[in-house]
Amino acid sequence: MTAHQRIDDSVVQLAHGPAWANRYALAPMTNKQSHDDGTLAAVLAEQAGFDGVEVHGAHGFLLAQFLDQRNQRRDGYGGTLEHRMRALVEVLTGIRAATGDGFQVGIRLSPEAKGSPLDEGREVARQILSSEVVDFVDMSLRDVYATPHYNGDGGLLIDAFTDLPRGETVLSVTGHVLSAEDAAWCLAKGAVVVGIGVGAILHHDFANRALADPNCKARPQPVSRDVLRAELVGSAFMDYLAADWDGLVA
């Protein structure tokens, strides 16, 4: 069985989805193996001493594949948005029920994708934010200053999410935050948490620097291996960054 082979209407392989994701989609949802695996992983993380988990519902990974409009499975997990959201909701409620009250449960979502237009991305976020099933929603915006790629009215992507009612649920945004000013801009927009990726590779203490100095900016890229080594980046990870991340490693 190849990753791109189509079985019935249930298999959707997205451009950014990992090849192995389809093995779940091939099976009927009656035994909910992927739900059980997700819950078990979270329980093991809690037992191992972690404070929480972030479930991946973005970037074409398994749960994002369920959300995609091209998911037309007929077993209650495809077709209408309610049905396409069912796997996501069941995984989150399963983890919530199986872990302790203080255990942080979050979900990473894409704002939009091919097969998941922005209005649906907003609706998914709205339902999750208002359901109180998670402690935080991490909107993976690629670039916090980005406008919609697929559709939209020309406004900023971030604005489609910061105005949603969210009770106690924390809204986090991620994407190209490389200065204290960027982070402050996200907070002023209404986010409560700002996720840092590349910035924290360039400076192991990026968050503390940004909190201490409102003018703090990440160093320009690319950077030498010596600089990365001084920032405590290991050599295997450096090789990975050099091979897979354009313009980061000189």
Ligand X SMILES: Cc1cc2nc3c(=O)[nH]c(=O)nc-3n(C[C@H](O)[C@H](O)[C@H](O)COP(=O)(O)O)c2cc1C
Residues that bind ligand X (CB under 6 A): 58-59, 108, 140, 174-177, 196-199, 241, 245
CA atoms of 54 and 105, how far apart (whole Å): 6
- Least distance in angstroms from the C-beta of 245 to ligand X: 6
Phi, psi of 245, rounded to the nearest 5 degrees: -120, 105
* CB closer to ligand X out of 29 and 124: 124
What is the nearest approach in angstroms of ligand X to the Cβ of residue 38?
A: 16
| Minimum distance from residue 195 beta carbon to ligand X (Å) | 6
What is the sign, positive or negative, of the torsion defined by CA atoms of 206, 141, 122, 35? negative
* Residue closer to ligand X (CB basis): 135 or 143: 143
Task: Pick the closest to residue 50 from 89, 88, 102 (CA basis).
Answer: 102
The residue (of 12 and 144) whose beta carbon lies closer to ligand X is: 144
Token pair belonging to 240: 């990975």
Nearer to ligand X, 83 or 204 (CB): 204
N-term to C-term CA, the chain: 40
Nearer of residues 6 and 16 to ligand X, judged by Cβ: 16
Backbone angles phi, psi at 9, to 5 degrees: -105, 15
CB of 142 to ligand X, least distance (A): 6
CB of 66 to ligand X, least distance (A): 16
Specify whether the CB–CB gap between 142 and 178 falls below 8 A. Answer: no
Beta strands in the chain (DSSP E): 52-57, 104-109, 136-140, 170-174, 193-195
**94/175 with CB nearer ligand X:** 175
| Cβ–Cβ under 8 Å, residues 180 and 172 | no
Nearest residue to ligand X by CB is 197
The nearest distance, CB 34 to ligand X, in angstroms, is 17
